[in-house]
Chains A and B, each alone.
Chain A
């Protein structure tokens, strides 16, 4: 298994509080991603990073910010959590493509509940 950890694995928080999720990799891969998974929507990209301090928005970035100060860590922050951000959050990593494969390796997920 790819060396990806996410913390915390479960969190319950109240509306309006800030929340930070952490993704840590030991693979030294260049690309890192944050997705959210919701029933009926599959996996949707929130933000991604293509290098240290290089990030860009995905399709559902409103209400989220990210930071990547080191290759191995990618942080997702909900500045002021809302109930609509209750979801399972997955971090993924990928390396420069080899042999035509753009495989992404996913972490175990963080289940976030906003009450």
Chain B
């Protein structure tokens, strides 16, 4: 199994640009999670989906952030417009069932200049 796949692995962009992060969960996993990790705030859950449906988006920082899961094998996290304070590592994780262990992707390191 390839594990959770995220792309791009690194992204550098200028303030005001749109950024799209992509995630492919492990095949057969029904739950997908987006996290952000910074030195100041540690690891934070942004949003999670179950069976492609958003269950809890209370961690999404503001309206500039949006996430979609159009099918069971693909999810996106979009930031528009991006700001320097969005610079962080964004992780995607998936789990087979809601109550089971989450497996993390390698992360996308985002730098907004």
A, B from the same assembly: no
